A and B are shown apart, each in its own frame.
Chain A
């Protein structure tokens, strides 16, 4: 393969003029829109913990909570009690014309995060070992309670496969809350979510294993009315890159923590570096018994450039009791919750 072949091939993978213009338009428009950011770290450790627990516990259900969900938070039966009211057992399945079956097992939800436990079963003869696999859903929250441009982030994690030689694989599909340019972040409490499987891929969206888009079958799940999380109104200064932002409020649930901050319009600290990109690794919930609980992953990080509001949602590395959190450390600054009453 010589230079001329290289040139010929690469000349054909330039963006088309329409594509070029569309990307530029989106780029210039971005400053006016809510921009979702997603970050994932420490997942290996979490999945390893999940795998170990799965091997020990198989797929038993404790307090109505699937063990695979509990395992992600390194939880035991006692912890399961903490998240019971956020769990919806769905247990619905559907077999597509292409021979694939999708089973929605359970949904775990709090105010700003949602996780769907789903099994994918291939036609006979298909071997699914889960390597580099992703499942994706189109999803809609009803009622949609927002104004202006809205967005959310979603993604999937393949769970430990007990039998890599079979045609079954389990995923946790997660999504953050919808955030809107004009009306903030929508709560998931009491809403209904419709899920429509779109595809199962391996190694990126070019490697489609199963395509479900032709069939419009949806799974509808009514989300719980109860919110197991607590919101604290703070309105305290938070030093970010040596300048002040305001830590407006904190939301702490058994499985997540969310920070709502206010900077200035078009505040570059929202993106860093380091700016708020350091929050994920620095955020720690300090418990009454002296323990510290860190975050295992970022669920959603959005920023409204016009108002300067930032909303950051993280999943905790273990299940906690919100009432036992005495203070929160963000970017090295500790905010006491002592004496503060939860807002709701």
Chain B
């Protein structure tokens, strides 16, 4: 695969992966405007990336890692880009109200759990593949997956109990 430089090439790559990159950014940044900013930055970095991707999987993994790093980097900074619009609180809409609640529960998990759950359950990566992408030991990722499931179960149970 070649380097991505032209507008057409960027647009093609963008169309292919924007859903995934945006989902990761939204999951980590927890709000739409910041997720949009981070998504744009990730693709800008692709435009500036001067090495070829080995294969489509390398390309996808690179975007996942870059999205995660970009969000973590932005979250470290208090300094925020000024926005032309104040309408930064766009609400997400849900097919079922409980989906919105589930989303909130997911966002309440620590970042490491959110990432492994997303990559494993949504993107379908195995624990080994997830570990490779995140640069962690496979055993660490397996532990995180177990802990994340327990944590989520705990939150859901507390919520159900609270509603009784």
Known pairs A23-B18, A152-B82, A154-B80 / 14 extra A-B pairs, C-beta < 8 Å: A1-B102, A1-B152, A6-B121, A9-B103, A13-B92, A15-B19, A23-B40, A30-B40, A38-B80, A136-B80, A138-B86, A153-B82, A155-B77, A204-B34
Main secondary structure of the interface of B (DSSP, over half): helix
Residue in A14, A28, A151, A175 whose CB lies within 8 Å of B22: A14
Q: Is B79 located at the chain interface by the 8 A CB criterion?
A: yes
Known: A151-B82, A154-B80. A7 touches B99 (CB 8 A): no
Q: Is B144 located at the chain interface by the 8 A CB criterion?
A: no
Query: A153, B79: Cβ atoms under 8 Å?
Result: yes
Size of A's binding interface in residues, CB under 8 A: 48
Q: Is A205 located at the chain interface by the 8 A CB criterion?
A: yes
Query: A28, B103: Cβ atoms under 8 Å?
Result: no
Contacts of A57 in B (CB 8 A): none
Question: How extensive is the interface on chain B, given as a class?
Answer: 35 or more
Contacts of A10 in B (CB 8 A): 23, 118, 122
Query: A23, B36: Cβ atoms under 8 Å?
Result: yes
Query: B44, A30: Cβ atoms under 8 Å?
Result: yes
Q: Is A268 located at the chain interface by the 8 A CB criterion?
A: yes
Q: Is B55 located at the chain interface by the 8 A CB criterion?
A: no
Q: Is B78 located at the chain interface by the 8 A CB criterion?
A: yes
Q: Is B160 located at the chain interface by the 8 A CB criterion?
A: no
Contacts of A205 in B (CB 8 A): 31, 33-34, 88-89
Q: Is A340 located at the chain interface by the 8 A CB criterion?
A: no
Q: Is B113 located at the chain interface by the 8 A CB criterion?
A: no
Query: B30, A204: Cβ atoms under 8 Å?
Result: yes
Residue in B39, B76, B78, B122 whose CB lies within 8 Å of A23: B39
Which among B6-14, B61-69, B126-134, B135-143 touches the partner chain?
Answer: B6-14
Contacts of B79 in A (CB 8 A): 38-40, 153-155, 297-298
Residue of A nearest to B18 (CB): A20
Query: B80, A8: Cβ atoms under 8 Å?
Result: no
Residue in B22, B31, B149, B153 whose CB lies within 8 Å of A206: B31
Query: A12, B94: Cβ atoms under 8 Å?
Result: yes
Query: B7, A28: Cβ atoms under 8 Å?
Result: yes
Residue in A27, A138, A153 whose CB lies within 8 Å of B44: A27
Residue of B nearest to A19 (CB): B36
Q: Is B146 located at the chain interface by the 8 A CB criterion?
A: no
Q: Is A194 located at the chain interface by the 8 A CB criterion?
A: no
Q: Is A271 located at the chain interface by the 8 A CB criterion?
A: yes
Contacts of B77 in A (CB 8 A): 38-40, 155
Distance between Cα atoms of A23 and B37 in the complex (Å): 8
Question: How distant is B86 from chain A, measured CB to nearest CB, in Å?
Answer: 6
Distance between Cα atoms of A124 and B74 in the complex (Å): 34
Question: How distant is B52 from chain A, measured CB to nearest CB, in Å?
Answer: 17
Q: Is B3 located at the chain interface by the 8 A CB criterion?
A: no
Question: How distant is A235 from chain B, measured CB to nearest CB, in Å?
Answer: 28
Query: B48, A268: Cβ atoms under 8 Å?
Result: yes
Known: A10-B118, A12-B95. A43 touches B78 (CB 8 A): yes
Distance between Cα atoms of A208 and B86 in the complex (Å): 13
Distance between Cα atoms of A95 and B111 in the complex (Å): 38
Residue in A23, A27, A38 whose CB lies within 8 Å of B81: A38
Distance between Cα atoms of A239 and B92 in the complex (Å): 48
Known: A23-B36, A30-B40. A154 touches B82 (CB 8 A): yes
Question: How distant is B47 from chain A, measured CB to nearest CB, in Å?
Answer: 8
Contacts of A175 in B (CB 8 A): 82
Question: How distant is A114 from chain B, measured CB to nearest CB, in Å?
Answer: 12
Q: Is B117 located at the chain interface by the 8 A CB criterion?
A: yes
Known: A13-B23, A26-B40, A205-B88. A5 touches B11 (CB 8 A): no
Known: A5-B102, A14-B23, A153-B81. A204 touches B92 (CB 8 A): no
